[in-house]
Amino acid sequence: MSSRITIKDVAKEAGVSIATVSNVMNGTGRVSIRTVRKVEDVIERLQFYPSKAARNLKDKSSHLIAVVVPYLKEARLRDNPFYWKLMIGIEEGAKHKSFQVMLMDVNDEESFAFVQERHLDGLIVVGTFQNAPVIDRILALKKPVVFMDSYISDLSLYQVYLDDEEGGYLGAKHLLELGHRSIGVMCGLLIEGGVYHARWKGFQKAIREAGLSMDNQHIFDIHTSAEKGRRLAHQIAEEHPDITAMFSFSDIGALGLIRGFHEKGIRVPDDMSVMGFDDMYYMEYMNPALTTIRQNVHEKGRAAVEMLMELIDDSATSARQIVLPVELIVRESTDICKHTAQS
């Protein structure tokens, strides 16, 4: 029924002009409170939903934004709930402004034709890095854009990111304070200007402050996933008996590590401490519950979409760079290094 109802039907039923109905719907013009209520009652009773396509043509806006994640693979999206939680925060913020959100994966060769084809109003770009070829292509679109977790040195760009370096520092310092001196790091791909690289810098800082050499640490720069964490745990059990603690730069990698150590008869935290990064909601329900670095992924998504909405509305934003804090969450998966305690 609602698809056959037009603004003319609403105007006729309410006994007002089409212009009055339009003013009520758009909050414009001078309309008495009594008339507003009357028109709104008719709209609700007739279940009149104006055509978004028609409104978009009128105001030249699609009310559609894209979250662009360069190099996002299906397995990475499926295996890491970080992206789903991020999308929830973005979608909730966009919904308040009557915008819809689409998720797109692009690489250096793929076209950005979808931006023009769908008449997108803006973009949130997640997880690119300094000097990535895709950045120039995105800026050439001349669309409002907010970069998230990207660490681009151009301070004229709008960016939202985490204090990742502080997170890496807090994680390493926690393990060091427990007496661990041979720490393995499942760090993802260390690309200059990337999120994992920032966490890596914080880790290095803590190691050096403790007077230790980075040569004594074990760095595993592989993609962070549960299965890769599981396989890495097997490798560590067989090849690196000196490692007493593992720091994964994502919770999903830490989950795999704990599973893999269990399969090899290595107890967490009795024989091996494990910590993660993100504090996904189910980490406290693991056995053992995961020590991790907490970031508010939902807040990160909300902050990015609010900044983008201000750019789309051409209103002044409070800041071009927003840096969100991190917090060390200590649970059961880390413990005092037994090697140190016995020496």
105 domain-assigned: yes
Q: Please tell me whether residues 157 and 178 are part of one structural domain.
A: no
Banded pLDDT at 173 (limits 50, 70, 90): very high
- Residues pairing with 178 in the sheet: none
CA–CA separation, 264 and 276 (whole Å):
20
Q: Please tell me whether residues 216 and 248 are part of one structural domain.
A: yes
123 domain-assigned: yes
203 domain-assigned: yes
320 domain-assigned: yes
1 domain-assigned: no
Q: Please tell me whether residues 174 and 248 are part of one structural domain.
A: yes
Q: Please tell me whether residues 304 and 280 are part of one structural domain.
A: no
58 domain-assigned: no
CA–CA separation, 227 and 235 (whole Å):
13
By DSSP bridging, strand 158-162 and strand 145-148 are parallel
Q: Please tell me whether residues 141 and 281 are part of one structural domain.
A: no
How distant, in Å, are the alpha carbons of 7, 106, 174 from that of 60? 20, 26, 53
Banded pLDDT at 57 (limits 50, 70, 90): very low
Q: Please tell me whether residues 119 and 268 are part of one structural domain.
A: no
The structural domain count of the chain equals: 3
247 domain-assigned: yes
Question: 288 preceded by cis ω (within 30°)?
Answer: yes
**Residue 1: pLDDT above 50?**
no
pLDDT of residue 28: 66
Q: Please tell me whether residues 153 and 279 are part of one structural domain.
A: no
How does pLDDT run across 84-107, given as a tens digit for each residue? 888 888 988 888 888 889 888 776
Q: Please tell me whether residues 309 and 290 are part of one structural domain.
A: no
pLDDT of residue 162: 93
**Residue 343: pLDDT above 50?**
no
3-state secondary structure of 167: helix
Q: Please tell me whether residues 236 and 116 are part of one structural domain.
A: no
Q: Please tell me whether residues 173 and 36 are part of one structural domain.
A: no
CATH number, domain of 224, equals 3.40.50.2300
CATH number, domain of 14, equals 1.10.260.40
How distant, in Å, are the alpha carbons of 187, 238, 252 from that of 225? 11, 20, 6
How does pLDDT run across 250-276, given as a tens digit for each residue? 999 999 999 999 999 999 999 999 999
2 domain-assigned: no
**Residue 222: pLDDT above 80?**
yes
Q: Please tell me whether residues 184 and 238 are part of one structural domain.
A: yes
Q: Please tell me whether residues 200 and 336 are part of one structural domain.
A: yes
Question: Among 64-68, 290-294, 302-306, 311-315, which stretch is predicted with the lowest mean pLDDT?
Answer: 311-315
Which structural domain range is residue 277 located in? 164-295+328-342
Q: Which residue has the higher pLDDT, 4 or 128?
A: 128
**Alpha carbons within 13 A on the beta-carbon side of 156:** 1
| Mean pLDDT, residues 233-253 | 95
Closest CA to 272 of 186, 333, 185, 210: 333
